[in-house]
Amino acid sequence: MTASTILIVDDERHITSIMKRRLEAVGFSVVEARDGAEALDLVPEILPAAVVTDLQMPRISGLELAVALRKMDCSSTTPVIMLTGRSHYVSESVLSKTNIQKIIEKPFSAREVVEAVQALLTESQREAA
């Protein structure tokens, strides 16, 4: 069985680097993108099992990314975890247009993100069975 691929999208390199190491340590394959535009280019190629994205990024925000992922055939059901500062609020009407399954407020720990990814994929596997 191959490792599930997780796409991490954040313009802060140190955050993606830390999360990548932690996710790989528990067996995931990880691909990094610097913003939503780069992520959208990568998704059809890598077909991630889940996407972890920051909300505020240049070019295409995490929220715009999540809406676009839902519209793409290859990622219409891909779960998304959104990372955001406390000052950002995502309305229920916008969430309904995405596959955002969890919002994690900054500051967060890498362990919290890893646990959220594991829980999300475990739940997805249960639903698929």
DSSP conformational letter for 35: S
- Give residue 103's identity as a one-letter amino acid code: I
pLDDT above 90 for 39: yes
Dihedral angle sign, alpha carbons of residues 15, 71, 4, 128 = positive
Q: Judge contact between 81 and 55, C-beta under 8 A.
A: no
Q: Using the 8-state DSSP alphabet, how is residue 27 labeled?
A: T
Residue-by-residue DSSP string for 59-125: SS-HHHHHHHHHHSGGGTT--EEEEE-TT----HHHHTTS-EEEEEESS--HHHHHHHHHHHHHHHH
Whether residue 85 has pLDDT greater than 70: yes
In a domain, 67, yes or no: yes
pLDDT of residue 46 exceeding 90, the answer is yes
In a domain, 129, yes or no: no
What CATH number did the domain enclosing 26 receive?
Answer: 3.40.50.2300
Count of structural domains within the chain: 1
State the chain's mean pLDDT as an integer.
Answer: 90
Give me the pLDDT at residue 91, please. 78
Q: Is residue 104 part of a domain?
A: yes
Q: Mean of the pLDDT values across residues 63-85? A: 94
Determine, yes or no, domain membership for 42.
yes
Q: How many residues are listed for the chain in this entry?
A: 129
Identify the domain containing residue 63 by its residue range: 5-123
What is the rounded distance in angstroms from the CA atom of residue 109 to the CA atom of residue 99? 22
Task: Tell whether 45 is covered by a domain.
Answer: yes
How confident is the model over 58-85, as a mean pLDDT? 94
pLDDT reported for residue 88 = 61
Report the predicted TM-score, pTM, of the whole model to 2 decimal places. Answer: 0.92
Domain-embedded: residue 103: yes
Q: Note the pLDDT of residue 1.
A: 37
